[in-house]
């Protein structure tokens, strides 16, 4: 989710990254943020005709026994061991997926797809969609770019059922609220109705969009944070440019050598954006450490009742980064996450490393390849795993998925599913990943051109895929929270305070109180 780039050249990348990361904005991964205290991701309970002029205030379908798997009384992430999965909403109770309805249509079925990818990636999406439209005569897909995920989500919430599209692209943080809204056909219903073979898919990509035992959305453009770094500065500092830091301790040691050698003014550039350095990365670091970010198995065994980021781990992580800033080893660009990559080529006070979304990689390489930054080309950018609190690189799945809107007609539902199967085919995913930097959602895409050659010739594209495979417990899956967008905002405010000198433990405790109040309010309405 993120990255803005080496000087003039990366200006284009900044725009791109903004809509990428968790389709991720290059730091907002296409998402929004801000200081909202309302759960704007909650949808109207009426899946038919919600008011279009006022944002709904409740999250739709009531889910029975939602806390059956845990009472939420624990205050620390003491375990990641799973209890029995609680499937509250059986698939049979959800809207069906009449995949055969397309065969009975009188003529081509037109569907609309709302997406939120950035302008640098949109041409790839358009090319694949044009290819699909030309490959058959039963479905015509029209793309409508909503600019970024937050705007897309809010527009969806405020729209009447009749004015909503047939298909939407949405990031991971809406999983619970969308699943409980009563306005979508679960992808699992399409799996079942069509006999869809999910075996080639990366298991973690699919489970990222499971809630209460149901596959709600189809992963499409998934990404995770990686470390971008200036290889020239590594060489100048006497560091191996092919061996970036993996652990936090290595991150500090590398930063010290970069700064002390004079190769860079700062070792690492940090930010406090909710959907990157101050919110999303905090979730990622908890997963990397094997600790839960929220109770009830990160909300995956049963709806979460409280966050757990106000633990010793959270305080230690933020204090570690606070010390790096205080010692002149790190530079905080604030909540403008897109400024991070610019520091890699800042002629006055350059930073040697920055964390950003893997989805921006293609745009970074293309921008630098245009020659807009003299003396700094695409081969000068290194990519390594996101440094974290363990020696094994691993990340949670970010990015976005495809959701089929209910109530649009059987033929339209079948058409949306047909388009989804094309976009997530091995060939489409191979093209998509090679052209963008997103991670393919299926393993067999790695054996098909152009991705097979891209991965063989440019290891930078492989980093995000490999680290997504690390970790095998509940903590390795991203937390599922009804008001997750607002919870990230609360966490981001705490991280910003800490980076500016505040006490880590008390800042996280205050943020946790705010987050828990949001979760309690959401659960009470759902």
Three-class secondary structure assignment of 204-260: HHHHCCEECCEECCEEEEEECEEEEEEHHHHHHCCCCCCCCCCEHHHHHHHHHHHHH
Q: Which CATH superfamily does the domain covering 7-24+224-396+477-525 fall into? A: Periplasmic binding protein-like II (3.40.190.10)
Q: Where are the domains of the chain?
A: 7-24+224-396+477-525, 92-223+400-426
pLDDT at 221: 96
Q: How many CB atoms lie within 10 A of CB 130?
A: 12
CATH of 92-223+400-426, one of 3.40.190.10, 3.10.20.70, 3.40.50.720, 3.40.50.12780: 3.40.190.10
**Across 70-84, 288-302, 348-362, least confident range:** 70-84
pLDDT digits (tens, 9 = 90+) for 32-88: 333 333 433 445 333 333 333 333 333 332 222 322 333 333 333 333 444 444 545
pTM, two decimal places: 0.85
Share of the chain above pLDDT 70, in %: 83
Whether the link from the prior residue into 450 is cis, omega within 30° of 0, is yes
Q: Would 7-24+224-396+477-525 and 92-223+400-426 be classified into the same CATH topology?
A: yes
**Across 39-53, 185-199, 506-520, least confident range:** 39-53
Confidence of residue 345 (pLDDT cuts 50, 70, 90): confident
**In the predicted model, is pLDDT for residue 17 greater than 60?**
no
| 485 against 85, higher pLDDT | 485
Average pLDDT over residues 195-215: 95
Angle in degrees, 0-180, between the axes of helices 426-436 and 410-423, rounded to the nearest 10: 60
**In the predicted model, is pLDDT for residue 305 greater than 90?**
yes
Q: How far apart are CA 186 and CA 193, in angstroms?
A: 11
pLDDT at 13: 44
Q: Dihedral of CA 172/366/381/353: which sign?
A: negative
**In the predicted model, is pLDDT for residue 161 greater than 80?**
yes
**In the predicted model, is pLDDT for residue 523 greater than 60?**
yes
| 140 against 75, higher pLDDT | 140
E-strand spans in 78-138? 109-115
**In the predicted model, is pLDDT for residue 256 greater than 50?**
yes
């Amino acid at each position: 989710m993120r990255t803005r780039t080496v000087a003039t050249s990366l200006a284009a990348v900044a725009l791109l990254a903004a809509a990428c990361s968790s389709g991720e904005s290059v730091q907002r991964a296409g998402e929004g943020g801000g200081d909202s205290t309302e759960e704007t991701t909650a949808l109207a309970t009426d899946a038919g005709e919600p008011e279009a002029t006022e944002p709904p205030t409740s999250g739709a379908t009531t889910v029975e026994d939602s806390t059956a798997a845990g009472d939420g009384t624990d205050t620390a992430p003491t375990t990641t061991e799973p209890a029995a999965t609680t499937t509250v909403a059986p698939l049979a109770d959800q809207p069906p997926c009449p995949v055969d309805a397309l065969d009975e249509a009188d003529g081509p079925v037109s569907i609309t797809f709302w997406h939120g990818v950035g302008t640098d990636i949109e041409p790839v999406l358009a090319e694949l969609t044009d290819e699909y439209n030309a490959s058959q005569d039963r479905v015509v897909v029209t793309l409508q770019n909503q600019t970024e995920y937050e705007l897309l989500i809010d527009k969806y919430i405020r729209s009447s059922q009749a004015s909503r599209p047939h298909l939407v692209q949405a990031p991971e943080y809406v999983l619970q609220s969308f699943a409980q809204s009563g306005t979508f056909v679960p992808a699992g219903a399409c799996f079942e109705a069509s006999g869809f073979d999910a075996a080639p898919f990366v298991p973690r990509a699919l489970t990222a969009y499971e809630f209460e035992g149901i596959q709600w959305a189809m992963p499409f453009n998934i990404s995770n944070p990686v470390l971008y770094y200036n290889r020239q500065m590594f060489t100048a500092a006497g560091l191996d440019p092919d061996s970036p830091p993996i652990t936090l301790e290595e991150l500090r040691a590398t930063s010290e050598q970069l700064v002390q050698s004079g190769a860079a003014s700062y070792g690492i550039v940090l930010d406090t954006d909710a959907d990157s350095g101050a919110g999303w990365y905090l979730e990622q670091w908890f997963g990397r450490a094997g600790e839960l970010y929220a109770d009830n198995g990160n909300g995956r065994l049963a709806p979460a009742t409280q966050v757990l980021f106000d633990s010793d781990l959270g305080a230690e992580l933020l204090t570690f980064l606070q010390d790096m800033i205080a010692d002149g080893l790190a530079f905080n660009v604030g909540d403008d996450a897109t400024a991070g990559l610019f520091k890699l080529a800042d002629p006055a006070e350059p930073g040697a490393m920055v964390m950003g979304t893997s989805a921006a990689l293609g745009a970074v390489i293309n921008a630098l390849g245009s020659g807009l930054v003299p003396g700094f080309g695409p081969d000068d950018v290194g990519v390594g795993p996101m440094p974290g609190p363990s020696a094994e690189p691993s990340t949670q799945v970010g990015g976005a998925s495809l959701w089929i809107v209910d109530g649009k007609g059987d033929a339209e539902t079948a058409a949306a599913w047909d388009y989804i199967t094309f976009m997530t085919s091995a060939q489409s995913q191979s093209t998509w990943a090679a052209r963008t930097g997103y991670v393919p959602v299926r393993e067999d895409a790695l054996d098909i051109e152009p991705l097979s050659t891209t991965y063989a010739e440019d290891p930078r594209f492989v980093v995000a895929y490999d680290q997504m495979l690390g970790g095998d417990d509940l903590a390795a899956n991203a937390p599922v929270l009804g008001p997750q967008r607002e919870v990230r905002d609360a966490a981001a405010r705490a991280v910003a305070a800490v980076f500016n000198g505040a006490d880590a433990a008390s800042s996280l405790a205050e943020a946790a109180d705010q987050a828990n109040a949001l979760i309690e309010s959401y659960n009470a309405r759902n």
